[in-house]
Amino acid sequence: MLRPNKSRPRWHIAVFLAPALLLYSIVLVFPLLDTLRLSLFSSNGESFVGLSNYQRLFTDSQWWPYFWRALKNTVLFFILHMLLQNPLGLLLAALLDSKNLRGRSIYRTLLFSPTMLSFVIVGFVWQLILSPTWGIAPAISEFLGVRYRPWLGLESTSLPTVALISIWQFVGIPMLFFMTALLAVPQDILEAARVDGASAWQLFWRVKFPLILPTVGIVSILTFIGNFNAFDLVYTAKGALAGPNFSTDLLGTFFYRTFYGFQLQLGDYAMGTTIAVVIFLIILFGSLLYLLGWQRKVVTYEL
Amino acid sequence: MVRKWRWKLALVSLLTTVLAACGGGSATQAPTTNPNRVTLTIESWRSDDQKVWTEQIIPLFEKSHPDIHVEFRPTAPTEYNAALNSKLEAGTAGDLITCRPFDVSLGLYTAGHLTALDDLQGIAHFSDVAKSAWQTDDGKTLFCLPMASVIHGFIYNKAIFNELGLSEPKTVDEFFAVLDKIKQDGRYTPLVMGTAEQWESATMGFQNIGPNYWFGENGRKALIDGSAKLSDAAYVSTLKDLARWGDYLPDGFEAVKYADAQMLFASGKGAIYPAGSWDISYFNQNAKFELGAFKAPVAKANDQCFISDHTDIGIGINAKTAHMAQARTFLEWMTGPEFAGEFSNALPGFFSLSDYPVSLKNPLAQTFVDWRKQCQSTIRNSYQILSRGEPNLENELWRMSVGVIDGTFTPEAAAQDLQKGLDNWYKKP
């Protein structure tokens, strides 16, 4: 085996890495560290206060209930996506994978297209559809015999409604992931299973599904990261105060109000960055849990 | 997330500064006959008013002041505070700064960006209420000239009122009697407002009808000095009144947005619209029927009435301006009757705050401003000092006003909660 010559430093590696490293440090690493630093200072940024901002967030009666509610809402938002968006994505992918379906690429494009729309448009269009004044939802629910309610405006239904809109928008992403995974399943294995007399149902759950299991993990972790960062849709549909009565307040909107301020509320950099760091840590540990608990244990078949 | 937004923010500020610098550069090259002519620039968030300023107000000023040229240079409302801050820090901000009310501008003054204006000629033409939005907490120093206010009341559809034989209600009982009659008739939405954006309920609801309960400035100041509480009867009654609105609002009002309500009323499907005077120009353009307006109802006929006459826009001088004398000349002109008449007429619904009598060509705007003669003016009670802590009083008022209307909270519980929130951080001076 050829050994690299130790006497000659390989400068070209550093030279090639430098631009990316520099850019990454400036736009990602430095702001992240600065965020951490800001969260350890008082609100005017002058005195070092250690972890007392975190203590305030977790114990103060003016912070903890608000944070806890935002966290609960975010978890519910995530659970709804896991229960609906990802299985739906898998179902659509399985259907689109069937060879008998005509116009597959048209369906695929149509199902994926909402993902490419801007949040502002999605929020606007759905508000219009669901609007009690101009929307088609009242007429449709009357036709279906369902009692129309202003779902986006009620405390009990606004969060699930926003979650459903988000699921409608993003179901294309898990669908695409699963489709790619399904495409990679070798035909000869499927052929062999068919020859052995496997039904379509068995073929999917016994052969295809175990093979695409790693993708389930990737989709889940992407959903987790996306949902815990979610902000835009609630902001466009419900505003930064995430009403009614904070029922749609996610960690993202809670952070936004705190950091940037809202109406007469002035921005609080220290508490804002504290919340940002906590969100960061939640995502970090969630991702680590996934990497160690799932990614390493799930069997990846070499085909 | 912080990292992403901070960079976006920085980029936006940088871009605005660069663009603004370009704009300033070309402005100074404008052909002038007088070599001593000085150019003043106004920073503002009122991009909607660009035309009014450049075509009406500024030419009027320049006619009597040929040595001074004024440029109106607005920024988008949502970016104004951030862009202005970065321009002031960088020393590229205009000579005249349009001021938001209360803490945002107070912050600019304490940071040394605005000059004190107490000795400005003509300042005596402004009332204490008008000045309160741009004074230091002790009321000793004024740092922006009050420019305009917005007044709350109710706009109604005269055709519907005539058809149903209704007259303008003066007392609370009459108000609900009118609403009941419209509801019984069944063809029109009695009260057109939604609660989806939350601010309508607090601004057009709570702050509109409330001053009659807490006696305007008396009640507002009593909250600040601690002698009154939000759990007092005055506030519980306001919220009780507001809670009754729910029966008269459009179907599904919980998801009706501000613009939906505007359109619903303009299309003639509703009878009464809880309004801010800024709505006047929208309805003038879009409503095809005759409009009337009545002020917030009082408890008993002939009671002293109070109106929310909220100070919304002021203007100050950049402390680092190179043309201090000219900037002061411009502001002194703004204290006079010429500006008051031109401004109030060009922007119906924004009322000049000086004490010169102004005759308005818009009858609806005239109705609103005439209430000043019969009633005492006050401003929104959450704006001065009381929204500085956590939980933010203004945000809480939004949430609770919606809550009592849609039935989430009882008026008593909402009032208790509001006071509890204030007690959490506010220590009376």
Between B11-20, B52-61, B171-180, the lowest mean confidence (pLDDT) is in B11-20
A65 touches chain B (CB under 8 A): no
pLDDT recorded at residue B28: 41
**B110, B38 in Cβ contact below 8 A?**
no
Which chain B residues are closer than 8 Å to A262 by Cβ?
A: 392, 395
Q: Is residue B192 predicted with pLDDT exceeding 50?
A: yes
- What are the chain A neighbours of B265 within 8 Å (beta carbons)? none
pLDDT (0 to 100) of residue B212: 97
Q: Is the dihedral of CA B296, B150, B311, B260 positive or negative?
A: positive
**Predicted local distance difference test score (pLDDT) of residue A243:** 81
The answer to whether residue A255 neighbours chain B at the CB level (below 8 Å) is: yes
What per-residue confidence (pLDDT) applies to B83?
Answer: 83
To which H or E segment does residue A258 belong?
helix A251-260
Interface confidence (ipTM) of the complex:
0.86
pTM of the model: 0.85
Nearest CA in chain B to A127: B255
What is the tens place of the pLDDT at every residue in A81-134?
Answer: 999 999 999 999 999 988 788 888 899 999 999 999 999 999 999 999 999 999
Contact B318, B113 (CB under 8 A): yes
A41 contacts on B by Cβ (under 8 Å): none
Residue of A34, A133, A158 to mutate when probing chain B, most B C-beta within 10 A: A133
Does the pLDDT at position A59 exceed 70? Answer: yes
- Helices assigned H by DSSP within A60-186: 64-80, 86-97, 104-112, 119-130, 137-144, 158-170, 172-183
**Which of A24, A264, A266 is the best residue to mutate to test the B interface, defined by the most B CB atoms within 10 Å of its own CB?**
A264
Q: What backbone phi and psi angles, to 5 degrees, belong to A300?
A: -105, 120
pLDDT of residue B26: 40
What average pLDDT does range B390-400 have in this prediction? 92
CB of A267 within 8 Å of a chain B CB? The answer is no
pLDDT at position B33, please? Answer: 59
Cβ neighbours around A152 below 10 Å, total:
29
Q: What is the mean pLDDT of chain B?
A: 89
- The whole-number pLDDT of residue B191 equals 97
**Degrees, nearest 5: CA angle B379-B380-B384:** 90
Identify from B2, B5, B405 which residue to disrupt to test chain A contact, counting A C-beta atoms within 10 A and taking the largest count: B2
- Region for residue A197 given its phi and psi (left: phi exceeds 0; alpha: psi -120 to 50; beta: otherwise): left
Report A:69-128 residues touching B (Cβ under 8 A): 127
- The interface residues of chain A toward chain B in range 147-176, judged by CB-CB distance below 8 A, are 148-155
Cα distance between residue B251 and residue B236, in whole Å: 26
Q: Does residue B202 register a pLDDT over 80?
A: yes
pLDDT digit string, tens, across residues B344-379: 999 999 999 998 888 899 999 999 999 999 999 999
> pLDDT tens digit string along B111-167?
899 999 999 999 999 988 899 899 998 889 999 999 999 999 999 999 999 999 999
Instruction: Give the range among A63-72, B70-79, B260-269, B344-353 with minimum mean pLDDT.
Output: B70-79
A159-192 tens-digit pLDDT = 999 999 999 999 999 999 999 999 999 989 999 9
Q: Please check whether residue B362 is in contact with residue B345, taking contact to mean a CB–CB distance below 8 angstroms.
A: yes
pLDDT in tens, A130-155: 999 999 999 999 899 988 999 999 99
CB contact under 8 A, B3 and A27: yes
In Å, how far is A122's CA from the nearest CA of chain B? Answer: 16
- The shortest CB-CB distance from A133 to any of B6, B107, B250 is to B250
Q: What number of residues does chain A have?
A: 303
Say how far residue A199 (Cα) sits from the centre of its chain: 35
CB distance from B387 to chain A under 8 Å? Answer: yes
Q: Which of A31, A229, A241 is facing B198, going by the closest CB pair?
A: A241
Q: How many CB pairs under 8 A join A and B?
A: 125
**3-class secondary structure, B272:** strand
- A31, B2: Cβ pair inside 8 Å? yes
State whether residue A273 sits within 8 Å of chain B by CB: yes
